[in-house]
Structure 1
């Protein structure tokens, strides 16, 4: 049975693309039914269109509350019979409306070994602290910032003083770890 998913992203969408390519290679029995973005100009929109996947792009400022835009998103997800929500660089905290509709069905990937360096610019935080190893964490989403139960982690060596190279290493690990973790989740 193919798992129907929605991918939420705010940026370039490299994790979305890695997931979609794993699906196309037959490594992940899923179908991305919808890409949701809070940044209508984000490159993930271009990537989604290249794969022929519908996009729901919104601006949070156009709504009176988080509950209002999340209710609209939940309705879209239910219309498409979405089973899992996969966050891939989505830079908004998920609120109660979405959490309650998809309890234990929202996963996120974060570029650090949580609980270290949660929130924005985790790679920069790790480098500022002078750590030699950082990594990638896949976790369930709860109401906190990168605080949900951890599903998988992988270590990545920091390239001293080279943010760009460290980030490239982290992205390579993210693309592999996320697909493997989603596969396990969807098969259980």
Structure 2
């Protein structure tokens, strides 16, 4: 079994669903740690509530992004981390981590990529009046939301949807599937 790190910046609902599957012995990992990059984000509280180690890194405490990611890398190496799973981590990953974790950094994004990259994917889907959106699990590379797609799940868009209702329905599906895909990835199984 392997050790994994979850990177989060906000509420941490995907982090919670991963932790829940781990606590129910459904997720085949030895250990989970949380890396956060915002002060007082709710994901950190979820880590405390679940006895998960949380390391908080604020970019403003470092001279540049390189020093920031090198500090994160030291913790990942100390904790013997094999995979990184992004779950609402709102910072671009650079070559510092990408080169050390080649094809072992995975992101979940709330759209059917390549459509609607970036942080406003749910809003963009509504603005473009698409009838289907969803989420994508993909490998991370140096370009935003551009890595090889691992898995996608469609979510219907209803006429009366707003950002909150659509985001919630997408997240409900993410919570069902993300930990299952994590299991397949770490076991080397076909997704």
Runs of 4+ in 1 over 3 A off after TM superposition: none
Q: Which moved more, 1:32-41 or 1:109-118?
A: 32-41
Q: Summarize deviations over 1:94-118 as a string: whole Å, max 9, x none.
A: 0111111111100000000000000
Task: Point out where structure 2 has 5 or more consecutive residues left out of the alignment.
Answer: none
Tell me the equivalent position of 2:14.
Answer: 15
State the distance in 2 between where 1:187 and 1:56 align.
Answer: 26
Conserved 8 A contact 2:57-2:72: no
Conserved 8 A contact 1:20-1:32: no
State the distance in 2 between where 1:16 and 1:108 align.
Answer: 12
Tell me the equivalent position of 1:167.
Answer: 167
Tell me the equivalent position of 2:74.
Answer: 75
Conserved 8 A contact 1:35-1:48: yes
Report 1:52-131 matches (<5 A): 52-131=51-130
Q: Structure 2 length as normaliser, TM-score?
A: 0.95
Tell me the equivalent position of 1:151.
Answer: 150
State the distance in 1 between where 2:37 and 2:160 align.
Answer: 32
Q: Summarize deviations over 1:165-188 as a string: whole Å, max 9, x none.
A: 211110011111211211110111
Helix, strand or coil for the counterpart of 1:78? Answer: helix
Task: Point out where structure 1 has 5 or more consecutive residues left out of the alignment.
Answer: none
